[in-house]
Amino acid sequence: MKKEFLYLLFAVAVGELFIPAGTATAADRVVVIPLGGAVGDATAADVVKGKTFSSKAVGKGKTGTLKLRDGATIYTNSIGMEFSLIPAGSFVMGSPDGSNDTVHPPVQTAEPGRKDYENQHYVTLTHSFYIQTTEATQGQWLAVMGTNPSANSTCGDNCPVENMTWDEVHNFIDALNNNEGRANCNTIPNTCYALPTEAQWEYAARAGTTSAFYNGDITQLSGKDPNLDEIAWYNDSIDPIPIQPVAQKLANNWGLYDMSGNVSEWCQDRGASTLAPYPDGPETDPSGASSGSYHVIRGGNFNFTPGSNRSATRYSRSSSSRSFSQGFRLVLHSGQ
């Protein structure tokens, strides 16, 4: 990969101020951006938003410099999608089955609601990445595609977009990549928006936790669960049962909302109609099966009980399926 593109992805995420080319000094900690975001010029006033830098600050193909801000971890793109930087690292993926081996801590009990294909195993993700802090919204989809496929369209622009197939999500991704000057990103590794892998999704959802939910253990398989109430919309928390606007509940340690409940989320991984268990041994940057017409879905949804809204919950659907409870969120590689 060209160094310039690595700089683009890193700089866009941590930047504070766009500066016209040639006006910055070495002390400003600047980088050159050879490829920008949405078409059109922008001024510094358009991009100074706390820790946020908008990709619309640079037109397609234009160059400029970006003043970096130490510690910024949020990136906001041209249509208002906010992304949080997730560090590279290792974690135990899956749910405990009550055994006592090298993966499970001593005196471990089985997680209520778990399935046999959630077997725990070590996973290492060698690259940091950005993941959307919320589920993709109806307003964001409309801004790119011009139509709204959602069955719950009356919920509003800030509600999750749903009712689209896996293939239609990729049509959206292709259009967004093109709109932001990433038309050649498929030939330049790690510069495209994408769906998260299943491993990226669970790593981000857990945010360093090992409990059933990212804020604590599960106490009820069905009915109202006090821990789940804090973080999710699920089938015993709302009446009637619709989708809800994003980011209304408690975020996890990495600032991500609705990783349980609201709508389920498509992942990139392929799989069979009935998911197979994970490999027994450790994995590095897993991406799922190499073939198959089904894709993994994570996150539970508003129509599920607490037992099916755990961080380890996983199932699959045909790539041509659609549902009023099925949405997505995007990732963007950091180049780090």
Residues 22 and 143 in one domain: no
pTM: 0.79
**63: pLDDT strictly greater than 90:** no
Report the pLDDT value the prediction gives residue 74, as an integer from 0 to 100.
86
Q: Above pLDDT 90, what percent of the chain?
A: 62
Residues 58 and 157 in one domain: no
Residue 114 lies in a domain: no
Our count of domains for the chain comes to 2
Average pLDDT over every residue of 264-285 = 94
Condensed to tens digits (0 to 9), the pLDDT of residues 188-211 reads: 666 789 999 999 999 999 999 999
Average pLDDT over every residue of 142-148 = 98
Mean pLDDT check: name the lowest of 51-55, 89-93, 117-121, 267-271.
Answer: 51-55
Residues 281 and 143 in one domain: yes
Residue listed under structure tokens 């037109």: 59
Report the pLDDT value the prediction gives residue 61, as an integer from 0 to 100.
37
Condensed to tens digits (0 to 9), the pLDDT of residues 20-62 reads: 434 433 333 333 233 333 323 333 333 333 333 333 333 333 3
Q: State how beta strands 129-132 and 82-86 pair.
A: antiparallel
Residue listed under structure tokens 């041994």: 281
Residues 126 and 71 in one domain: no
| Structural domain of 72 | 3-76
Q: Confidence band (pLDDT; 50, 70, 90) for 104?
A: low
Residue 173 lies in a domain: yes
Report the pLDDT value the prediction gives residue 232, as an integer from 0 to 100.
96
Residue 274 lies in a domain: yes
Instruction: Give me the sign of the Cα torsion angle 148, 154, 159, 163.
Output: negative
Residues 59 and 128 in one domain: no
99/46: higher pLDDT: 99
Query: CB under 8 Å to 152, separation ≥6 — which residues?
Result: 159, 162, 242, 243, 324
Residue 95 lies in a domain: no
Q: Where are the alpha helices (DSSP H) in the chain?
A: 3-14, 138-145, 166-179, 198-206, 226-231
Residue 105 lies in a domain: no
Q: Is 123 exposed, middle or buried (0-12, 13-18, 19+ CB in 10 A)?
A: buried
73/66: higher pLDDT: 73
Residue 94 lies in a domain: no
Residues 64 and 179 in one domain: no
Residue 108 lies in a domain: no
Condensed to tens digits (0 to 9), the pLDDT of residues 220-243 reads: 999 999 999 999 999 986 666 689
Report the pLDDT value the prediction gives residue 334, as an integer from 0 to 100.
74
